[in-house]
């Protein structure tokens, strides 16, 4: 596996793979890779002949006071994991390679609708930063397909919408959330948790499972379900951000007769903001 830092080298390596008739798969990341990222690369390598991953901690998607400066940078360990998972090329640009004209004057990509509410409400500008860097990376790599984790459910919806609305010829593949044995969704931010917080953290997923079970048993009082789960989060020591039941496709607030639902939550545990979601398929009426 080669690691390149410039767009020039990236383009040359992808052009060579293309000249050999290879399909190109792409997995964008911010590094500090865990088994969740590894599964994205494995999916890409099952579906494409030449797999490109990127590691770029994108300043444009971090708000003031967020963890940009502390975000873990673990390049050597990441390279080993990528290689073992079947990655052929790592693109690891500097900020000046990604934003050579500075970030203030950078053209931005705003995805309407699905960017609003949920994490879009708590983290103003976040999805604009994600959509902008993913658009740039897509133009740089020009992949046939790209793989993103379902753990960032709203991000995946933003990227699907972006690709559709801007007519990008890229297949977007959503990969199932990887979880620890106790149910906690794998995330680079789990590394910020103390041992005590780590023991508490699975409460988030258990709350989602509780709501899913009740929905499957026929409960439709969404407000009650949400309030109960948020009360459990508070009791465990979380500061709840949001917990919502939405239509799994449109991400609009769920109607009472929707069958294809997703329950999404974000909550703060100490200094760490955790997110999770669970899709709930109800049988047709």
Rank residues 31 and 207 by Cβ distance to ligand PAF and give the closer one.
Answer: 31
The rounded Cα 169 to chain-centroid distance in angstroms is 21
Select from 32, 39, 45, 58 the one that contacts ligand PAF (CB under 6 A): 58
Please work out the total of residues on this chain that contact ligand PAF, with binding judged by CB under 6 A: 10
Residue number with CB closer to ligand PAF (128 or 144): 128
Which residues are 244's β-sheet partners? 264
Residue nearest to ligand PAF (CB): 28
Residues 6 or more apart from 240 whose CB is under 8 A from it?
Answer: 230, 233, 234, 265, 266, 267, 268
Does residue 152 touch ligand PAF according to CB under 6 A?
A: yes
Query: Is 133 near ligand PAF (CB under 6 A)?
Result: yes
Is 88 marked active-site? Answer: no
Task: Give the span between the Cα atoms of 152 and 66, in whole angstroms.
Answer: 17
Strands 260-269 and 272-281, sheet pairing: antiparallel
Question: Which residues, at least 6 apart from 199, have a Cβ–Cβ distance to it below 8 Å?
Answer: none
What stretches of the chain adopt beta strand conformation (E)?
Answer: 2-4, 24-29, 50-55, 89-91, 145-149, 171-175, 239-247, 260-269, 272-281
| Binder of ligand PAF out of 25, 28, 120, 240 (CB under 6 A) | 28
- 218-221: long-range contacts at Cβ-Cβ below 8 A with a sequence spacing of 24 or more? 220/256
- Does the annotation place 11 within a ligand binding site? no
149 is in an annotated binding site: yes
Q: Is 193 in the site for ligand PAF (CB under 6 A)?
A: no
Flag whether 113 is marked binding.
Answer: no
User: Binding of ligand PAF at residue 134 (CB under 6 A)?
Assistant: yes
What gap in Å lies between CA 269 and CA 192, rounded to an integer?
Answer: 10
Q: Is 63 annotated as a binding residue?
A: no
In a 13 Å sphere around the CA of 179, the CA atoms on its Cβ side amount to: 17
Q: Between residues 31 and 240, which has the closer beta carbon with respect to ligand PAF?
A: 31
The only residue of 14, 17, 24, 30 in contact with ligand PAF, by rule CB under 6 A: 30
Taking the least distance from each CB to ligand PAF, the nearer of 50 and 127 is 127
The encoded tokens of residue 3 equal 């690691």
Please give the Cα distance from 146 to 52 (Å, whole number): 9
Applying CB under 6 A, which part among 45-53, 102-110, 130-138, 256-264 lies near ligand PAF?
A: 130-138
Out of 37, 88, 92, 126, which one is annotated catalytic? 37
Q: Which of residues 79-108 bind ligand PAF (CB under 6 A)?
A: none
What residues numbered 196-255 form the site for ligand PAF, per CB under 6 A?
none
Q: What is d(CA 94, CA 58) in angstroms, rounded to the nearest whole number?
A: 10
The verdict on whether residue 33 carries a ligand-binding annotation is yes
Residues annotated within a binding site for (R)-pantoate: 61, 155
Residue numbering of the annotated binding site for ATP: 30-37, 149-152, 186-189
Active site residues: 37
Residues forming contacts to ligand PAF in the complex (CB under 6 A) are: 28-30, 58, 61, 130, 133-134, 152, 155
Q: Which residues are annotated as a binding site for beta-alanine?
A: 61
């Amino acid at each position: 596996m080669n690691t390149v830092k410039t767009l020039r080298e990236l383009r040359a390596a992808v052009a060579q793979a293309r000249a050999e008739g290879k399909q190109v798969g792409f997995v964008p990341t911010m590094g500090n890779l865990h088994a969740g990222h590894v599964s994205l690369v494995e999916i890409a390598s099952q579906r494409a002949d030449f797999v490109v991953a990127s590691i770029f901690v994108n300043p444009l998607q971090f708000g003031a006071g967020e963890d940009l400066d502390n975000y873990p940078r673990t390049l050597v360990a990441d390279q080993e994991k990528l290689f073992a998972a079947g990655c052929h090329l790592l693109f690891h640009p500097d900020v000046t390679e990604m934003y050579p004209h500075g970030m203030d004057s950078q053209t931005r990509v705003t995805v309407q609708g699905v960017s609003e509410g949920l994490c879009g409400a708590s983290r103003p500008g976040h999805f604009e930063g994600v959509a902008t860097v993913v658009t740039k990376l897509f133009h740089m790599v020009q992949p046939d397909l790209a793989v993103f984790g379902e753990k960032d459910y709203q991000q995946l919806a933003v990227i699907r919408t972006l690709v559709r609305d801007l007519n990008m010829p890229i297949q977007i593949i959503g990969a199932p959330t990887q979880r620890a044995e106790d149910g906690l969704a794998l995330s680079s931010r789990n590394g910020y948790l103390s041992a005590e917080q780590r023991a508490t953290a699975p409460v988030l997923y258990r709350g989602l499972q509780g709501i899913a079970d009740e929905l499957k048993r026929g409960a439709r009082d969404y407000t009650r379900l949400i309030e109960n789960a948020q009360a459990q989060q508070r009791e465990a020591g979380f500061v709840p951000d949001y917990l919502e039941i939405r239509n799994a496709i449109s991400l609009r607030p769920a109607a009472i007769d929707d069958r294809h639902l997703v329950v999404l939550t974000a909550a703060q545990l100490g200094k760490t903001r955790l997110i999770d979601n669970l899709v709930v398929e109800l049988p047709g009426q």
